[in-house]
Structure 1
Amino acid sequence: MPRLNIDTEYLGDTLARLLQIPSPTGYTDMIVRMVCRELKEIGVPFELTRRGAIRATLKGKSPHGARAIISHVDTLGAQVKQLKDNGRLEVVPIGCWSARFAEGARVTIFSDAGSYRGTVLPLKASGHTYADEVDTAPVGWQHVEVRIDALSRNDTELEKLGIEVGDIIAIDPQPEFLENGYIVSRHLDNKAGVALMLAALRAMREEKIELELDAHWVFTIAEEVGIGAASVLTSDIASMVAVDNGTSAPGQNSSEFGVTIAMADQSGPFDYHLTKKMVRLCQENDIRYQKDIFRHYRSDSASALEAGHDVRTALITFGIDASHGYERIHMNALRSVAELVTAYLSSPVEIRRDAHETGSLAGFTTQPMTEAEADIELPEKAEEEA
Structure 2
Amino acid sequence: MEKNLEFIGEQLKKLTAIPSPSSYTEKAAEYLMETLKEMGYEPELSNKGNVLVTIGGEGNPLVLASHIDTLGAMVRSIKDNGRLRPTTLGGHQWRTADGENCTVHTRDGRVYTGVVLNTEPSAHVADEKVEQTEENMEILLDENVENKEDIDALGIQVGDIIAMDPRTVITESGYIKSRFLDDKLSAAILLGLAKAVKDEGITLHRKVSLLFTVYEEVGHGGSYVPADTAEMISVDMGCVGADLGCTERMVSICAKDSGGPYNYNLITALVNTAKAHGLDFAIDVYPHYGSDVEATLRAGYDIRHGLIGPGVYASHNYERSHMDGVKNTYELVKAYVTE
Cα distance in 1 for residues equivalent to 2:15 and 2:43: 19
In structure 1, what is the Cα distance between the partners aligned to 2:308 and 2:93? 25
Structure 1 counterpart of 2:18, one-letter code: I
Alignment of 1:94-173 (within 5 A): 94-113=89-108, 114-130=110-126, 132-133=127-128, 136-173=129-166
Q: 1-side partners of 2:206 and 2:193: how far apart?
A: 17
Q: Structure 2 length normalisation: TM-score?
A: 0.97
Q: Report the secondary structure of 1:235's partner residue.
A: coil
1:243 is matched with which residue: 202, 216, 235? 235
Q: Name stretches of at least 5 consecutive residues in structure 2 with no aligned partner.
A: none
- Tell me, in whole angstroms, the C-alpha distance in 1 between the residues paired with 2:42 and 2:9: 23
Aligned-pair CA distance for 1:165:
0.8
Match of 1:329, SS state, is strand
- Which of 289-298 and 210-219 deviates more? 210-219
* Partner residue, 1:361: none
Give the match's secondary structure for 2:271.
helix
Number of aligned positions between the proteins = 338
- What residue number does 1:199 align with? 192
Greater Cα offset, 216-225 or 199-208 = 199-208
Matches within 5 A, 1:6-85: 7-62=4-59, 65-85=60-80
Matched ranges for 1:302-313 at <5 A: 302-313=294-305
Q: Give the whole-Å Cα distance in 2 for the aligned partners of 1:5 and 1:306.
A: 39
CA contact 1:240–1:312 (8 Å) conserved in 2: yes
Contact between 1:258 and 1:290, CA under 8 Å: does it hold in 2? Answer: yes
Residues 186, 5 of structure 1: alpha-carbon distance in 2 compared, 3 angstrom cutoff: closer
- Give distance in 1, aligned partners of 2:336 and 2:271: 11
Cα distance in 1, alignment partners of residues 237 and 20 from structure 2: 17
Distance 1:138-1:93 versus aligned 2 partners, 3 A rule: same
Deviation at 1:212, TM superposition (A): 3.1
Could you tell me how far 1:299 is from its partner in structure 2? 0.6
Q: Does the CA contact (< 8 Å) of 2:66 and 2:235 recur in 1?
A: yes
Give the Cα–Cα distance (whole angstroms) in 1 for the partners of residues 176 and 205 of structure 2.
35
1:97 Cα offset (Å): 2.1
Q: Is the 8 A contact 1:6 1:203 kept in 2?
A: no
Q: For the residues of structure 2 that align with 1:106 and 1:317, how far apart are their CA atoms?
A: 28
Q: Could you tell me whether the CA contact under 8 Å between 1:6 and 1:335 is conserved in 2?
A: no
3-state SS of the aligned residue for 1:129?
A: coil
Query: Deviation per CA, 1:114-148, whole angstroms, max 9, x where unpaired?
Result: 11111101100223322x42xx2212111110001
TM-aligned CA deviation for residue 7 of structure 1: 1.2
Is 1:190 the counterpart of 2:183? The answer is: yes
* Cα 1:67/1:5, change in 2 over 3 Å: farther
**Cα distance in structure 1, aligned partners of 2:227 and 2:143:** 51
Is residue 239–residue 252 contact of structure 2 (8 Å, CA) maintained in 1?
no
- Distance in 2, Cα, partners of 1:235 & 1:272: 22
- Contact 1:81/1:90 (CA < 8 Å) preserved in 2? yes
Shift of 1:5: 7.5
Q: Secondary structure at the match of 2:267?
A: helix
Letter of the 2:36 partner, please give it.
Answer: L
1:355-384 deviations in whole A, cap 9, x for unaligned?
A: xxxxxxxxxxxxxxxxxxxxxxxxxxxxxx
Give 1:161 deviation, angstroms. 1.4
Aligned ranges for residues 365-380 of structure 1 at < 5 Å? none
Q: Does the 8 A contact of 2:175 with 2:320 survive in 1?
A: yes
CA distance in 2, matches of 1:235, 1:346: 23
Aligned match of 1:228 in 216, 221, 226? 221
Q: 1:179 aligns with which of 151, 154, 172?
A: 172
Equivalent position of 2:87 in the other structure: 92
Alpha-carbon distance, 1:160 to partner: 1.7
Deviation at 1:183, TM superposition (A): 0.8
TM-score, with structure 1 as normaliser? 0.85
**What residue identity is the alignment partner of 2:61?**
A
For 1:300, the equivalent position in structure 2 comes to: 292
- Looking at structure 1, the residues matched to 139 and 178 of structure 2 have their Cα atoms a distance apart, in angstroms, of 21
- Greater Rg over alpha carbons, structure: 1
- Offset at 1:214? 1.2
Q: How far off is 1:295 after superposition?
A: 0.7
**In structure 2, C-alpha distance between the alignment counterparts of 1:320 and 1:213, rounded to whole Å:** 29
